[in-house]
Amino acid sequence: MKHIYFITCLLALLLTRDARAQLLPPNRPEQDACGAIEICGNGFSTPYSYQEIGFEYDMSNTPCGGGEQNSMWLKLVITSPGIIQFEIVPQVVSDDYDFAIINATGVNCYELSSANVVRCNFNQNQQITNNGVVGIKTGYTQNFVASGTVGSNYVAAINATAGQTYLIMINNFGSMGNPSSGFTINFAGTTAVFNDQIAPKFQSLAGTCLASTSVTVQLSEEVKCNSIAFNGSDFILSPSGTVVSASGVNCNTNNQGYTDQVKVNFSPALAPGLYTIKAKTGTDLNTLLDLCDNALALPDSLTFRVYDLDSTVTRNICPAQLPFVWNGITVNTGGPAAAVFHKNNVVGCDSVATLNLIVTPTINTTVAKRICPYQLPYTWNGISVPAGGNNVATFATVSPAGCDSITTLNLTIQTATNQSLTLSGCGSVTTNNKTYINSQIAQDTVISSLGCDSLYRTLNITIYPVNPTTFTKDTADCGQLTYLGQIYTQNVTLRDTLLNQYGCDSIYNITNIIVYPNIPVPRTDYVANCDSVSFEGKKYFEDATLVDTFYNILGCDSLIRTTEIHVEHFELLVTADPPEPVIGDWVIFSTNANVEPYTVTAWLPQSVFAVQNTLSNGIKIAQSDTVKVVGISNLGCIDTAKMFIKADTLVPIVRLPNAFSPNGDGLNDVFEPQFVNKSGYLVKRFFVYNRWGQVVYSAAGTKKAAWRGTHKNGDEPAEIGTYFYYVDVEFVDGTKESQKGDIILIR
């Protein structure tokens, strides 16, 4: 557990992180010594944060007093002798990195011990003096820096010989209990040579059951995320198919980090068949690169098969074939998806076959025939029919599907009839392909399509004269016009014909519909001011929207003006953290406002605040005072925020009770150090031990250290009895106080 000084905590509160590191899932390969990442002399960077210790607890203790926590491992294989020195530089200065160097030459990676550690540094992070940097350097003689040590950032460099292997265990600690944000280890000044000469290779494929749209390529070692082309151009498919994108598993959104798996996506989906995915140089002008910039050797390829996992089968049957048995499934009725059959294909992927069952019913049809009397008897499908009527003959056949089909004949005998018909019309009458223009009585015979006389007609024809009169008028409006209940949006000519008592044209009414354009030009004006706005003789105290419409000489809309009125009531606020400081505390003042964005123009008293134009400010408070902040919005509205900050006198006293009862009744439920002031102190270390000397609770570098009467994992209540504690406190005036004693836990 790391111990962070009070001033470090205060500065950590001022840090603004644009983005947190990517917290990897536990049990990564590089979290075990045997899975260490081999690196070379050009250094190594990681954007990742690690948690826990991997599958193996490789290093439970070191000469520096602690073992691996939130660890990851690096590996150096020395090819030429020389000095090894390096610096571990955090991406965020408040992060704390510890390290231990193990000489693993000839040692089984599963059997490491504290005796194999040649250097370690569990130094207390001081971001003001060293920005969190630790390492090994020439000029330093100390080999080990114990946990809790302040100011010892470096240990002695290493004289390495060819053939040696070194492992570097790095513990990751973020500030204020957060995940760490990654680091860079550089080997500036190192003369020993260690370079991974083995290029990465394709190893295997995963996700082949879904290979129609993507596969995941397993590599022989980690490669740089930024060497993977987003557009997938590092890969090509054969004999066909299009690679559309690729991404490294665990690579972050900025394509930083490293990975040994690359997901390759295809579009459109691949048809069933055998494919080969091959490596090539991408549009980023490189193929995949390992951490030492060794390029994946070309050509390299892996073969996979896309299986036709799902299929649909259609069957046609007759009603007599029900129930129907398919793949051992009894189907009682037809229809789409009448049955579904599940099985595993040759590679163990799920495969689904669906049956569409079509039951062809018995076809019953009726045929109607009409003949002349002389055509009797009538022969139909080999059947002689002597007379007309319904259902006079029945013919049975077999359909293409093998099902019965029955056709019935209705036979009609065409006979001639007599008819007297009165016809009238305007100007002329047409009947039976003859046109009559004069009134008269005529005789007519109608012949059927069969060639038989079907009708003898006497026609009484009356012709009415046609002489219509024409009237024309215009009607107009803007945008649209409603005429006789109909809406018109463009010009059109309407024609209406009035008939006389005989149904002949009498009057032609022609109406010209004229629609003038009514497309106003929109315009939006913006008027804004502080507290109130005066516009066209009226004063506005709140936001408003005004709409005015202007017309042209035709009376149609020509302009629609929208005026947006904005009244800004700018209010600035200031808060302090901590709100109840003591003299000597570092206090952070923060502003916020009801309008964004805004600018701070002054912090008062000006003699106290060296920086005047920041949205937040920090001072070491020396006395109670009234703080004023002047701000201005983008619109130019000004407001002043005030607050009185009372600075208490520090009373550097810590007290601890001798008993507590964590029973949830709200009284004495926790065991914690108690102070006179609400600020101005830091609990550097706080340990609670049971009677066997085992730690049941610990805290460090915090203002809130409180034991709730549980075991160390926090899941089960601790037993009733006497426990022992040790507390180490530092106050802002430099006063330090340590206490130890016993506490009785009762329930």
What tens digit of pLDDT does each residue of 109-129 get? 999 999 999 999 998 876 545
Q: Within a domain: residue 196?
A: no
Provide the pLDDT for residue 496.
85
How many domains, the chain?
9
pLDDT: is 16 or 632 the higher one? 632
The highest-confidence range among 3-12, 32-41, 460-469, by mean pLDDT, is 32-41
Q: Are 78 and 53 in contact, with CB atoms under 8 Å apart?
A: no
Helix (H, G, I), strand (E, B) or coil at 716: coil
Q: Are 249 and 200 in contact, with CB atoms under 8 Å apart?
A: no
Tracing tokens 């018109």 back to the chain, one arrives at 488
pLDDT at 209 over 80: no
Q: In angstroms, rounded to a whole number, what is the distance separating the alpha carbons of residues 509 and 475?
A: 13
Same domain, 124 and 136: yes
Cis peptide before 361 (omega within 30 of 0): no
- What's the mean per-residue pLDDT of the chain? 87
**How many angstroms separate the Cα of 728 from the Cα of each of 126, 583, 605, 736?**
19, 21, 37, 7
- Mean pLDDT across 524-548: 92
| Joined tokens for residue 533 | 């706005």
Strand bridging mode 557-568 / 521-530: parallel
- Mean pLDDT across 275-300: 92
Helix (H, G, I), strand (E, B) or coil at 473: strand
CATH value at residue 276: 2.60.40.1220
Q: Minimal CA–CA distance to 126: which of 100, 93, 102, 154?
A: 93
Same domain, 64 and 32: yes
The highest-confidence range among 411-420, 554-563, 681-690, by mean pLDDT, is 681-690
Tracing tokens 């607050």 back to the chain, one arrives at 643
Same domain, 155 and 10: yes
Query: Of the ranges 58-72, 435-449, 597-611, which one carries the lowest mean pLDDT score?
Result: 435-449
- Mean pLDDT across 358-379: 83
Percent of the chain with pLDDT over 70: 93
Percent of the chain with pLDDT over 90: 51
Provide the pLDDT for residue 646.
94
Same domain, 639 and 668: no
Provide the pLDDT for residue 343.
65
Give the type of residue at 380.
W
Per-residue pLDDT tens for 493-518? 988 888 887 888 888 889 998 888 88
Same domain, 667 and 738: yes
User: Environment class of residue 69 by beta-carbon count within 10 Å: exposed (0-12), middle (13-18) or buried (19+)?
Assistant: middle
Same domain, 457 and 541: no
Q: Are 312 and 213 in contact, with CB atoms under 8 Å apart?
A: no
Q: In angstroms, rounded to a whole number, what is the distance separating the alpha carbons of residues 514 and 520?
A: 18
Confidence class of residue 554 from pLDDT cuts 50, 70 and 90?
confident
Q: In angstroms, rounded to a whole number, what is the distance separating the alpha carbons of residues 672 and 578?
A: 20
- Which of 483, 516, 549 delimits the end of a domain? 516
Q: In angstroms, rounded to a whole number, what is the distance separating the alpha carbons of residues 680 and 703?
A: 9
**How many angstroms separate the Cα of 723 from the Cα of each of 194, 508, 692, 728?**
52, 114, 9, 17
Same domain, 353 and 373: no
pLDDT at 14 over 50: no
Q: In angstroms, rounded to a whole number, what is the distance separating the alpha carbons of residues 413 and 450?
A: 11
Q: At CA 276, angle to CA 272 and CA 279, rounded to 5?
A: 145
Provide the pLDDT for residue 190.
95
| Three-state secondary structure readout of 94-109 | CCEEEEEEEECCCCCC
- Domain span at residue 403? 363-413
What is the dihedral sign for C-alpha 28, 29, 30, 33?
Answer: positive
Per-residue pLDDT tens for 236-273? 999 999 999 999 998 888 888 899 999 999 999 999 88
Confidence class of residue 399 from pLDDT cuts 50, 70 and 90?
low
- Which of 589, 613, 645 delimits the end of a domain? 645
| Joined tokens for residue 635 | 């619109």
Same domain, 166 and 253: no
Q: In angstroms, rounded to a whole number, what is the distance separating the alpha carbons of residues 55 and 28?
A: 8
pLDDT at 15 over 60: no
Query: Of the ranges 7-16, 174-183, 306-315, 358-367, which one carries the lowest mean pLDDT score?
Result: 7-16
Give the type of residue at 443.
Q
- Which of 464, 497, 532 delimits the end of a domain? 464
Q: Within a domain: residue 480?
A: yes
Q: Within a domain: residue 194?
A: no
Provide the pLDDT for residue 9.
34
Confidence class of residue 309 from pLDDT cuts 50, 70 and 90?
low
692: left (phi over 0), alpha (psi -120 to 50) or beta: alpha
Per-residue pLDDT tens for 135-168? 999 999 999 999 888 888 999 999 999 999 999 9
Q: Within a domain: residue 191?
A: no
Strand bridging mode 440-447 / 453-464: antiparallel
Q: Within a domain: residue 208?
A: yes
Provide the pLDDT for residue 316.
83
Q: Are 347 and 355 in contact, with CB atoms under 8 Å apart?
A: no
E strands, 267-374, are: 273-279, 301-306, 310-317, 324-326, 329-331, 335-344, 350-359, 363-371
Q: Where are the alpha helices (DSSP H) in 19-157?
A: 127-130
Same domain, 248 and 295: yes
Q: In angstroms, rounded to a whole number, what is the distance separating the alpha carbons of residues 11 and 684?
A: 16
Strand bridging mode 538-540 / 86-90: unpaired
| Joined tokens for residue 375 | 């055509």
Provide the pLDDT for residue 344.
61
Same domain, 86 and 211: no
| Joined tokens for residue 48 | 């990742």
Query: Of the ranges 12-21, 197-206, 214-223, which one carries the lowest mean pLDDT score?
Result: 12-21
Give the type of residue at 433.
N
pLDDT at 8 over 50: no
Q: Within a domain: residue 117?
A: yes
Q: In angstroms, rounded to a whole number, what is the distance separating the alpha carbons of residues 454 and 734?
A: 128
Helix (H, G, I), strand (E, B) or coil at 155: strand
Same domain, 383 and 344: no
Provide the pLDDT for residue 129.
56
Per-residue pLDDT tens for 452-478? 777 778 888 888 888 888 889 889 888
Provide the pLDDT for residue 1.
38
Per-residue pLDDT tens for 428-455? 889 888 888 888 888 877 777 767 777 7
- Mean pLDDT across 595-624: 93
Provide the pLDDT for residue 437.
83
Q: Within a domain: residue 711?
A: yes
Q: Within a domain: residue 504?
A: yes
Say how many Å lie between the first and final Cα of the chain, rounded: 30
Same domain, 145 and 14: yes
Per-residue pLDDT tens for 78-114? 999 999 999 999 998 888 899 999 999 999 999 999 9
Q: Which residues contact 382 (CB under 8 A, 6 or more apart)?
A: none
pLDDT at 678 over 60: yes
CATH value at residue 695: 2.60.40
Query: Of the ranges 302-306, 437-441, 568-572, 697-701, which one carries the lowest mean pLDDT score?
Result: 437-441
Strand bridging mode 235-238 / 243-248: unpaired
| Three-state secondary structure readout of 54-71 | CCCCCCCCCCCCCCCCCE
pLDDT at 669 over 70: yes
Tracing tokens 């896309």 back to the chain, one arrives at 306
